[in-house]
Structure 1
Amino acid sequence: MSAAAGAGEGVGPDDLVDGQLPITAREEHFSLAFLRMIVYEAGCSIKTHETDYDGVDVTIVSSARYDRWIAPQFELQMKCTTQRNYLKADHMAWRMKAKPFRKLTNGPRYVPAYLGVLVIPEAPEPWLSVDDDRLMTKSRMYWQAASEIATSDELGDTRTVHLPRGNLFERDQLLGIMRAIGDDEGGAR
């Protein structure tokens, strides 16, 4: 058996960091773990998808009763990067391939969709720091409703989307999204 076959299909020894998971797999799992901490801290839950064929990775659900709906939910497409050069003064500029962009933004959707991009530290800086008092990370995730995504570079194989720096994915903003959906306020859906 070759090293690539033993490490996983299409993964060669040069793709592995320190003989462990490839960096892309680490980023994917770390972004989901980050998301879970925020979602569970807010008292919400996550439904996973077996595929992201519809352009989303997970569905985030609240169990709360709001003015219009009980248990509002939204779908989220997750991305992860170490590239801090995407951060501008007032937004994060994220380039998406045209096909996943269309899947995410072509609506209307019955369940609102959002894009979340997690920015993690670049190697060799650790992604996490743990001591007796806390678990810390210098990571942060920016979000935008698919219905609100402004684009540039409309021609070609990619689209640039802008996620406002003020849209920091954290407990209070997550609960605000749920409130807007549950109260049927419209807007960023």
Structure 2
Amino acid sequence: MLKRIVDALPAEGEASGLPGEGMAMNMRKEEFSRAFLHAICAPAGFNVTRTAVDNDGIDATISTSRSFHRFSPKLDVQLKCTASFELREHDFSHSLPMTNYEALRGEMNSAPRILVVVLVPKECAGWVGHSEQSTVLQHCGYWCSLRDAPPPANPDQEGITVRIPRRQLLTVPVLVDMMRRVGDGGVP
């Protein structure tokens, strides 16, 4: 049986009793999305390099020394994490700053780029469950490529809503196939 970390963490907005209040919720989500990406990449044998400064819309690069058909692939990733989502039958929507949208939709990037949106419970105490048999990250992550996305109707708008297909769940086998396609000279 999984044990949630509920007793160890204060509720959102509640004082922890520790000096300071720890990380802001957005920073917790950012770190959790990075941990999620590492959890998917490690079993596949892929490296994750954290971008020191996110001035190009990229949070991390996935790479491998494993050659596929033509070369060793690299894949740039923009990470987002949210507890505010509504899953529809085939997809869900996520708001993206226009600068991120534009950076992800370009075809002239040196490496293919994808958006990964990690969905989490509203309370951070429910993000991780533990037992002697497993550690479970709640809920999951989805990916999409905006490479062929259209330019925004209004280029002056601050953000744009993208629809992410639920069939594009990011799993270890999915990532291996994606890296194989990139290694063969294709797109994610």
Match of residue 52 from structure 1: 54
2:32 to 30, 33, 56: 30
Match of residue 178 from structure 1: 179
In 2 relative to 1, CA 166–149 (structure 1 residues): closer, same or farther, beyond 3 Å?
A: farther
Give 1:159 deviation, angstroms. Answer: 1.2
CA contact (8 A) 2:33 2:80 kept: yes
Secondary structure in structure 1 of the residue aligned to 2:104: helix
Identity %: 25
Give 1:63 deviation, angstroms. Answer: 2.0
* Inter-partner Cα distance in structure 1 for 2:104 and 2:124: 33
Give 1:58 deviation, angstroms. Answer: 0.4
* Inter-partner Cα distance in structure 2 for 1:17 and 1:129: 22
Give 1:107 deviation, angstroms. Answer: 2.8
CA contact (8 A) 1:149 1:162 kept: no
Match of residue 79 from structure 1: 80
Give 1:92 deviation, angstroms. Answer: 2.1
Give 1:100 deviation, angstroms. Answer: 2.0
Give 1:138 deviation, angstroms. Answer: 2.3
Q: Which runs of 5+ in 2 are unaligned?
A: 1-11
The 5-angstrom pairing of residues 5-20 of structure 1 reads 18=16, 19-20=21-22
**TM-score if structure 1 supplies the norm length?**
0.82
Give 1:124 deviation, angstroms. Answer: 6.6
Give 1:146 deviation, angstroms. Answer: 2.7
2:67 to 43, 65, 71: 65
CA contact (8 A) 2:101 2:146 kept: no
Give 1:174 deviation, angstroms. Answer: 0.3
Give 1:29 deviation, angstroms. Answer: 0.8
Q: Which runs of 5+ in 1 are unaligned?
A: 1-13
**TM-score if structure 2 supplies the norm length?**
0.82
The 4+ residue runs of structure 1 with deviation greater than 4 A are 14-17, 148-151
Q: CA RMSD in A?
A: 2.1
Count how many residue pairs are aligned between Structure 1 and Structure 2.
Answer: 171
**Deviations 1:135-167 (Å, cap 9, x if unpaired)?**
01222110012314468x733322121221111
Give 1:44 deviation, angstroms. Answer: 0.5
Deviates more, 1:153-162 or 1:25-34: 153-162
Give 1:175 deviation, angstroms. Answer: 0.3
Match of residue 102 from structure 1: 102
Give 1:177 deviation, angstroms. Answer: 0.6
Secondary structure in structure 1 of the residue aligned to 2:147: helix
* Inter-partner Cα distance in structure 1 for 2:119 and 2:166: 12
